[in-house]
Structure 1
Amino acid sequence: MSLHTSMSVVTSILKPFSSAEGYRATSVTANKVRFSSPKERGLAESVRVALEEGNFHPVKEFTNFIRQAEINDDEFLLIVKDAKRVVHSLTPDFVHVIECLLSLNWKNRSFEIIEAYTEFYIDIMVTHNIYLPIGISKLIVHWIPDDLDESDWVNGCPSERTRLVLKPIHEVLNRILTAVPMAFDLVIDAISAKFPYFKKPAHVTSGYLFNVLWIIEYKPIFEELILQLVVQKLLVLDVNAPRDEIGSEIDDEDDKMKADPLLQIDDLSADTLAGTGRTLKHPIGKTLDIGLLMLYRFFEGKCRIHQNSNDQQRWTANRLFKMLLHIFDEVLLPSHNTHHVQFVLFYVTSIRLAYSEAFLDLLWKKVQNPNISVIIRHAAVGYMASFLSRARFLPLSLLLIFRMVIFYLKELSKWAHNYIDDSGEYNQTCSLKAHLVFYSICQAVFYLIAFRARDLTASSKDLLFLQSLQLSRLAMCHLNPLRYCLAPVATAFAGVTRTYQLAYCHTVLERNARRKLATVYGHDKCMPEETLESFFPFDPYLLKLSNKYIKNNYMVYQCNDKDDYMDGSTNEPLSRKRVDSEIIEEDDFIIADKRQKHLELPKCQESDEQFHFGSFPGLNL
């Protein structure tokens, strides 16, 4: 028997269609409603459906599409052209799609796209003013560099590629401001709101600051508001970058360089600091340094007048200085615990002598005005004393009829003597609060004479001038100003006046020391001794990069060899011991240890370290 095998046929479980049934199925599929994608429908069609049919669903889908999709150049150009075609129909009902359109990344696109997008941007801002806050804010956001763009920003200067990318943004903003004047207030508000947080990396803040100053170039009407905003923001950096932290960093670097001769740089000027990488490591201090460097550059270009400068340039420079003086009066003078921002005034006043005169005249009027707060008057005196002491560019030569330092030293002394006369000999109320301005002016006179002793005692005529100030009456009056002065100031002033036989103050200093001892230990409760708050705003400049604009005009302390001894016949250095911290063993106001100076230094060198505060700004206690 033969076995026959046969293959069984496997049939599909799906019912086969006949030709007629297949035709009918195809026809049903073709007749069904098909929805196009947002990309296919386009913005213009979506807006038409919303306006004519009241169906905003396509607009929402298109909004989500441009928010999430990666749009190529062709699609981008098509969307922008559609938006420009229906710009008049884009009422506030379409705010969400408009916000997405204004948020598109258009900076790095082709020239054709940038031009088309610019035209749409201007049209939507002019046609619908309701979108101005959104549009201006979206433009200014482009000013903020990314955290990873540090290589494109070197000390506040953008690379050429970055500058080309930013240029169209400023052109759009310029056209908006020209076409819509009501946008000016919105721009200021947006600039202030978008200013980077003070702890952001230095290149982020400096990059934004570069764009903020750029707007002044094509819209000078913003000058005063922009400069005031910049000063306020730099003040935030200044108060968060304490001198002691920056100073300790510099001291550590100096010690490291002294320990390793290979690290020493013969000419470490501010111009070479960037090239050597010797910038501040303190993050906020570094940001402040670069920000002030940019501000100095700005005023250098605007206020520096050359021989070939025309009348328009001179007028612009003077107008800008008046703005800066007003900003100082409104912002800087009332500010407390600032260290470096005020040097903007120091630098600008060094450009022209007339600026220095105007600055000192403003301060002196503040001091004399009894209707102004005593705190402001006290601050104004501190600015005067520090400026007159530190400004190398102020005339002091006998060849000049108007000697600014001597003029104000005379005026300050005259005011103090008049105050003593008006207070009455029998008025024994020596309260610091009651006579704050008087004690501030006396300390300013003592500080000026101690600091400028070498210049003020250079000739017999100068000594005659100092004698005319009646310093002995000033120091030994019933109000006892030496009691409230800072100990280094009082000690240095006493040393200078004793050397040149102008006044003998050491007896008063010792009596004040005994009186303080009785005050502290004569009661059950120890009360702190009242002392004038030290405020010398132009104390040594610690920032590295921007120091090149300050150092050539800045006067460091120069000790006077004649002050080294009480008289010429003795070899003992000036030393007055006191029973407490008010009188220090050595005259640290001028030099920490004069015996060490004679052993180590061949000649008294110019060093400001002996003439600035340790715990107080300005003097080394």
Structure 2
Amino acid sequence: MDVTSLMGHDDTRVSAPKPMTHKEADRLDVMLEIVFRYTYDVCHNRNGELAWEATKKLYRELLVVFDRLILPTHASCHVQFLLFYITSFHEALVEGFLDYLWKKLQDPNTQVVFRQAAVAYIASFLARAKHINISTVRVCLDLMVAWAHKYISEAIYALSTHNDMSHHATFYSVCQAIFYIITFRHKELLGTKEGFKHCQRLNLQTIVTARLNPLRMCLPIIAKTFASITRMHQLAFCDTILERNKRTMFPTSTDGAGVSANNPLDAFFPFDPFLLNRSGSYVVPLYREYDGVLVQATQDDSNSEDDDDLYTEGVSGSHHKTPEMSPYTKAFSPAMDLFMYGTSPGFKNI
């Protein structure tokens, strides 16, 4: 991928983007554009060639900032795309970022909320980044699925095997990440005979039928779309479980574990969406839109009207306003991506 041409550094950009309507959003947009431009200039020489040593140095500095400030910040908005952007310069940076997140997830000494955040970043990064090849996605899926199978096996002998978010929050987050990634990239994962056999070896049916019932804790639209895709390819059969879950109340919690009656897993996928106009020219060309068939959740599945619901456009009965799209989003995206879960505090209508 020619990053230089994608980013518009040949001074032939589409047109000057208009300022954001929201004052704080416009300020953030200007600052991010400056940082993106600085990142590119530091990491490339005058000929547009990658300066690897300078790139590694800047990446490490950004990763320290990410670890100390961005990852611990709940529902961080747009700033995390600095890592999304710099990793597009070299595959080794993609692998390094994923390795950092995976170690954070596996570390039992890390607080559960940060382990869940790491899972959300892994899922969103693998789903949205165009510069991540499908072989890397398969490797990460193998790791997460193996982790989930091991957790299920160990939970059989544990004292607490009921589906309680406060005890199994990381497990449920990993399962939702698996379902989300497969849903998002199923065309590539299942596009070849070898890829189909690989997905069969994941043994997804064991995960969805586990006593911990991960589908019950998933966001409804992810669970329903995953069920539709896996049923079509006969990888897993989830419909009976979904129907049974629909008739059962979710457990509630007051310990800050993120459980509620209608939204058991926090709807935070950090690379959804990018709504800023100026800085969007650096991100949108690297950003994958969901292009599959989306199975809409019904009102019976979720009565929540929280701000974390899907942005919808042209969906019957929708009461949500579609966020204003930047000219770059319109230029690179033929239709509004309905699979957006990222929160954008204060910037919903900008």
TM-score range normalised by the length of the shorter chain: 0.7 to 0.9
Change (3 A) 1:541 1:512: same
TM-align CA RMSD: 3.0
Instruction: Report whether the alignment pairs 1:431 with 2:169.
Output: no
* 1:464 counterpart residue number: 197
CA-to-aligned-CA distance 1:25-71 (integer Å, 9 cap, x gap) = xxxxxxxxxxxxxxxxxxxxxxxxxxxxxxxxxxxxxxxxxxxxxxx
The correspondence of residues 480-559 of structure 1 with structure 2, limited to 5 A, is: 480-516=213-249, 528=261, 531-559=264-292
* 2:38 counterpart residue number: 298
CA-to-aligned-CA distance 1:429-483 (integer Å, 9 cap, x gap) = 2110110100000000000011112111211111111111111111110000011
The correspondence of residues 65-214 of structure 1 with structure 2, limited to 5 A, is: none
* 1:372 counterpart residue number: 110
SS at match of 1:294: helix
SS at match of 2:288: coil
CA-to-aligned-CA distance 1:469-518 (integer Å, 9 cap, x gap) = 11111111000001111011111100100111111101101101111289
* 1:392 counterpart residue number: 130
* 1:345 counterpart residue number: 83
Contact 2:19 2:26 in 1 (8 A): yes
Match of 2:339 among 606, 611, 617: 611
Amino acid in structure 1 at the alignment position of 2:206 = R
Give the distance between the partners of 1:300 and 1:576, measured in 2 at CA: 41
Q: Identify the range of structure 1 (317-326 vs 535-544) with the bigger mean alpha-carbon deviation.
A: 317-326
* 1:228 counterpart residue number: none
How far apart are residue 590 of structure 1 and its match? 10
Instruction: Report whether the alignment pairs 1:272 with 2:15.
Output: yes
How far apart are residue 321 of structure 1 and its match? 1.0
Match of 1:317 among 47, 50, 55: 55
How far apart are residue 580 of structure 1 and its match? 4.1
Give the distance between the partners of 1:348 and 1:376, measured in 2 at CA: 22
How far apart are residue 282 of structure 1 and its match? 1.0
Amino acid in structure 2 at the alignment position of 1:408 = C
Change (3 A) 1:461 1:607: farther
Amino acid in structure 2 at the alignment position of 1:284 = E
Contact 1:413 1:469 in 2 (8 A): yes
The correspondence of residues 393-408 of structure 1 with structure 2, limited to 5 A, is: 393-396=131-134, 403-408=135-140
How far apart are residue 279 of structure 1 and its match? 1.8
Amino acid in structure 2 at the alignment position of 1:546 = S
Change (3 A) 1:616 1:467: farther
CA-to-aligned-CA distance 1:138-184 (integer Å, 9 cap, x gap) = xxxxxxxxxxxxxxxxxxxxxxxxxxxxxxxxxxxxxxxxxxxxxxx
Q: Report sequence identity in percent.
A: 36
Contact 1:416 1:438 in 2 (8 A): yes
Change (3 A) 1:476 1:425: farther
Give the distance between the partners of 1:576 and 1:530, measured in 2 at CA: 12
SS at match of 1:611: coil
Amino acid in structure 1 at the alignment position of 2:78 = H
Amino acid in structure 2 at the alignment position of 1:343 = F
Give the distance between the partners of 1:481 and 1:428, measured in 2 at CA: 12
Change (3 A) 1:493 1:590: farther
Change (3 A) 1:272 1:451: same
Give the distance between the partners of 1:428 and 1:616, measured in 2 at CA: 35
Contact 1:392 1:554 in 2 (8 A): yes
Amino acid in structure 2 at the alignment position of 1:610 = L
Normalised to the residue count of structure 2, the TM-score between the two structures is 0.79
The one of the two structures with greater contact order (alpha-carbon pairs below 8 A, sep at least 6) is: 2
Instruction: Report whether the alignment pairs 1:447 with 2:180.
Output: yes
Instruction: Report whether the alignment pairs 1:354 with 2:82.
Output: no
* 2:68 counterpart residue number: 330
Instruction: Report whether the alignment pairs 1:479 with 2:207.
Output: no
How far apart are residue 272 of structure 1 and its match? 1.0
How far apart are residue 607 of structure 1 and its match? 3.1
* 1:186 counterpart residue number: none
Change (3 A) 1:493 1:292: same
CA-to-aligned-CA distance 1:169-204 (integer Å, 9 cap, x gap) = xxxxxxxxxxxxxxxxxxxxxxxxxxxxxxxxxxxx
Change (3 A) 1:534 1:305: farther
Change (3 A) 1:309 1:578: closer
Change (3 A) 1:330 1:273: same
Contact 1:486 1:532 in 2 (8 A): yes
Amino acid in structure 2 at the alignment position of 1:280 = M
* 2:28 counterpart residue number: 288
Change (3 A) 1:471 1:517: closer
Change (3 A) 1:317 1:389: same
How far apart are residue 615 of structure 1 and its match? 7.8
Give the count of matched residue pairs.
305
Give the distance between the partners of 1:589 and 1:472, measured in 2 at CA: 30
Contact 1:450 1:496 in 2 (8 A): yes
Change (3 A) 1:457 1:280: same
Computing the radius of gyration over CA atoms, which structure comes out larger, 1 or 2? 1
SS at match of 2:247: helix
* 1:581 counterpart residue number: 302
How far apart are residue 579 of structure 1 and its match? 4.1
Instruction: Report whether the alignment pairs 1:414 with 2:146.
Output: yes
